[in-house]
Structures are given as C-alpha cells and as structure tokens.
Amino acid sequence: MKPIKLTIQIEAINESNIYCFIFNEVGNIQLNFLISDGSITLNKESQLATIIYNNQHQFEKVIRSVIKGNIKVGQIINCVFIENFKFLKDNDFMKFIRVDTRSGKLDMTMSDSGSRDIHKIYADGSFVSETKKSGYGGFIEDPEGKQDIFYQSFDDGSSNLMELLAVTDGLQRLQSIQRLQINTDSRYVIRGLVQWCHFWKHNNWQTAYGRDVRYAKQWQQASSLCQNKFVEFKWIKGHSGNMKQDFCHQLAKEITTR
C-alpha cells in the first residue's frame, strides 16, 4: 500500500460546498466538495485527478474531519492517502481483525474466528475523574493457557490513554512473539493501531488539520511493537459477561484506588 502525500488549501466555503486547491509533486487541481453527500467534481482530468478519484473515500474522511475542526478559508491541510487501504466499518468489530506486516507490507483481513495456538493480550484501563486517579490492568496468556498479570496506577491520565498503555504493556511483554492476539473493549485503541497510525506516521504525527496527534509518543511505541508481526485484534463489548475482560476491568478499577 503506497502512501500519497497531498496538500489541500481551502479556497471558499458556503452552506453546501467546499472549494479546494490541491497540489503535490504530480501537479495541481481545483476541487468542489459537496457537503451533503461527499461527491466531488474536478476542474480537469490528470494524474492527480485519478489519484483523488481512486481514493475518494479517504479524501471525504479528511474533509469531514477538518469540518469538525472548524474549517476556515485559507486553511492548509497536509494529508496522506494510502492506496487500497481498508477502513474499518462498525460491523468489522464483530469479527477478528487481522493485520500482518511480517512481509514488510500491510495486509489487513477479517475472520469470523480467532487464530489457534496464539499468544493473547487482555487489557483494560480506568480513570476516575473525581480523584484524577487512573490505571490499567491486564494479562498475557500463552497458547497453553499460562497467564502473567500486569497492572499500573497513575496520578493523572484519561480513559483512552490507560486503554492504550494497557495494550502497550502487553505488547512489551510479548516483544519476541511473532503472532499475537489483542483483546480489548476499546475501539479507540483498535482503530488507532489498525488504521490511524499508518496515516499519522506518514504525516509527521499530525492530524489532517495540522494538530499534533494526542499521545503521539504512546501511539508510536505501541505501533512499533506491532511491526513485522501478525496481530489479531478482537473487540469485546464492555460488561458483556466475558470473564477474562471483566477481570481486567475490575483490576484496572481497583488499581485507581491505591
């Protein structure tokens, strides 16, 4: 999957349209984005036009993201497209999401069942706003069922950060393992490691509207620990009766009181 860098300048905005000037080393082009349905029109056919048409879904996601960030006329957006990238859909979280980078290339697939004979990470995070205490808990499990519990507490943080740190702790303990499965109730962490990190690293760890990625160092660490491996992600709905995930939730919650 080849990354393609583009610069987008917002030229005009009205209630129904966003007018953009887009350029990179290939050329430049003017584009009209229809806010209601995400359709686009370009002022000419060119190699750059082909790139945009082939990655229209990604372009729409960038523009929608920028709209949420209070888009302004004259704004410059530096973004990255990745050819043929598969974005996660809500129903994908009902499956096992597999990311394989062992060949040096990014290969993402879905499966209705989990892999056999694989090391597993179960992790959860917690944050108590009243006390500003946070923590995480989890365990790694080898294919024979042997478990190793881990946990840590902090004086500050956030729920999302704790979810990310919990998974990272598990990844650190399995650095020498090539095939592993991550079990978490955090779609934030799964989307980040499966999707967002691949774009952020090609965009200097900035968002589409030029802001530094929140928890960039932590994302970089977690992402690097997933490189050159087969990593299977499984989302487990919180408080759904999964005993292993419920154990992690309770452990993370208890850690915040210490």
Please tell me whether residues 182 and 234 are part of one structural domain: yes
Say if CB 97 and CB 110 are below 8 A apart: yes
Please tell me whether residues 70 and 166 are part of one structural domain: no
Residue 195 is part of which domain span? 90-255
Please tell me whether residues 152 and 120 are part of one structural domain: yes
Q: How much is the pLDDT for 248? A: 97
Q: Which CATH number covers residue 118?
A: 3.30.420.10
- How big is the chain, counted in residues? 258
Based on the structure, what is the number of domains in the chain?
2
* pLDDT tens figures, 65-116: 777 767 789 988 888 888 888 889 999 999 999 999 999 999 999 999 999 9
Last residue of a domain, one of 65, 82, 99: 82
pLDDT mean over 222-247: 96
* pLDDT tens figures, 147-202: 999 999 999 999 999 999 999 999 999 999 999 999 999 999 999 999 999 999 98
Please tell me whether residues 120 and 63 are part of one structural domain: no
What is the pTM assigned to this prediction? 0.89
Confidence category of residue 209, pLDDT binned at 50, 70, 90: low
> What are phi and psi for residue 152, nearest 5 degrees?
-160, 150
Q: Which two tokens stand for residue 137?
A: 């808990």
Please tell me whether residues 149 and 64 are part of one structural domain: no
* pLDDT tens figures, 112-151: 999 999 999 999 999 999 999 999 999 999 999 999 999 9
Please tell me whether residues 165 and 215 are part of one structural domain: yes
Helix (H) or strand (E) holding 110: strand 107-111
H-helix segments, 126-242: 159-173, 187-191, 197-200, 216-226
